[in-house]
Amino acid sequence: MPQPPTNRSPATPPARPDASMSLLTHVMDHSLDEGYAEASARREAEGTAGLPRTLKAKLALAAGLVLAALVVTLGAAQARATAPVLAKERQELIDRVERADRHADTLERDIERLRTDVADRQREALKQQGGRQAQLVALLSGATEVHGPGVKLVVDDAKGSSSGGGGGPRESAGFSDTGRVRDRDMQRIVNGLWQSGAEAVSINGQRLTALSAIRAAGDAILVDNRPLVPPYEVLAIGDKKRLGTAFQDSVDGQYLHVLQESYGIRYSLSPVDEAKLPAASSLTVRTATAEEPKKGAS
């Protein structure tokens, strides 16, 4: 018995394995857009592909090189033109400085000569006015150089001049660097030597008198406005045995010992058989006269 016909759909082709990657396949097969491809093909056909852009780049590079060479050439020419002028001005400035230095040296020599002349006249006046005690007056006033036995005291800053510990005689004075010798220290040392029996004292060759001033200018110590540099060598004329012992036992000698123990300030005291102290560089001579009482005055 024949079977009845059935409705069958026409056969469909099987799907491609890469059907799900159609976009990626299209990009791989057509790497260039049609418009780009046509433009590239047209330039290749005309034989002018890339020529205008390359020519412009070469022209721009050449113009830049020419401009750079022009700038360098102008700079070199200007430097050559101004070099003689600058050299002349520099030499004129050097000549002015040298002339000023020579003039200052001449004035310094004149000042020193006048200072020596004034000191000699002052010492002569002290000798004349002193009468029989002229030698003693000249000695006490520092008008003449002296020599004889005494002691030598060398005082120096601490190594590195580092700050000391808290407390002590220097912290109260407001010093930030307690390892440095200060003007107040030198004042106490000199006063201690005078009190211990010194007849004449000098610091680094500067003779001290009753009118001498020990002051500070920054970190420098000044004696009669003349700066000193460490180490400070203090010479004192007197009985070398008694003077050294009396100073060490004095309050100022103990003060110096505290500076050594607490802050590292270095010092050494030794007797000397012969110490020579120069005359004071500047003296202030003052005179006074006694008026006779007027007749009839009560």
Residue 101, in any domain of the structure: yes
Residues 89 and 180 in one domain: no
Letter for the amino acid at 42? Answer: R
State the virtual CA torsion across 246, 252, 253, 259 in degrees, nearest 10: 180
Counted domains in the chain:
2
pLDDT of residue 192 exceeding 90: yes
State yes or no: pLDDT of 176 exceeds 60: no
Flag whether pLDDT at 84 surpasses 90.
no
**pLDDT > 90 fraction of the chain, expressed in percent and rounded:** 25
| Three-state secondary structure call for residue 89 | helix
| pLDDT for the residue numbered 209 | 84
User: 254 and 186, same structural domain?
Assistant: yes
CATH at 165: 3.30.70.1880
> What mean pLDDT value characterizes the chain?
77
CA proximity to 194, closest of 134, 159, 238, 226:
238
Q: Is residue 187 part of a domain?
A: yes
Arithmetic mean of pLDDT, 278-287: 69
In angstroms, the CA 65 to CA 71 distance is: 10
Q: What is the reported pLDDT for 50?
A: 47
pLDDT digits (tens, 9 = 90+) for 203-259: 998 888 888 889 988 878 998 888 888 899 999 999 888 999 999 999 999 999 999
**Does 189 reside within a domain?**
yes
pLDDT of 184 strictly over 60: yes
2: three-class secondary structure by DSSP: coil
59 and 156 share one domain: no
Same domain, 261 and 168: yes
Residues 157 and 64 placed together within one structural domain of the fold:
no
Q: Which residue type occupies 58?
A: K
Q: Is residue 164 scored above 60 in pLDDT?
A: no
Q: How many Å apart are CA 237 and CA 152, to the nearest integer? A: 9
Closest CA to 37 of 29, 24, 52, 53: 29
Q: Where is average pLDDT lowest: 16-30, 67-81, 84-98, 262-276?
A: 16-30
pLDDT at 283: 64
Q: Does residue 4 fall inside a structural domain?
A: no
Q: Are residues 156 and 220 in the same domain?
A: yes
Residue 121: inside a domain, yes or no?
A: no
> Does 81 or 289 have the greater pLDDT score?
81
Selection from 233, 216, 236 nearest residue 225 by Cα: 216
Name the one residue in this structure whose structure tokens are 């309050």.
251
Q: Quick one: average pLDDT of 263-271?
A: 91
Lowest-confidence pick of 24-28, 163-167, 265-269: 163-167
The whole-angstrom separation of Cα 72 and Cα 99 is: 40
Which residues on adjacent β-strands are paired with residue 202? Answer: 207, 235
What span, in angstroms and rounded, lies between the C-alpha atoms of 18 and 21? Answer: 5
Containing structural domain, residue 56: 31-111
pLDDT one-digit tens code per residue, 7-54: 555 555 565 555 555 666 666 666 556 666 676 677 666 654 444 567
pLDDT of residue 254: 93
Answer yes or no: pTM beyond 0.85. Answer: no
pLDDT at 142 over 80: no
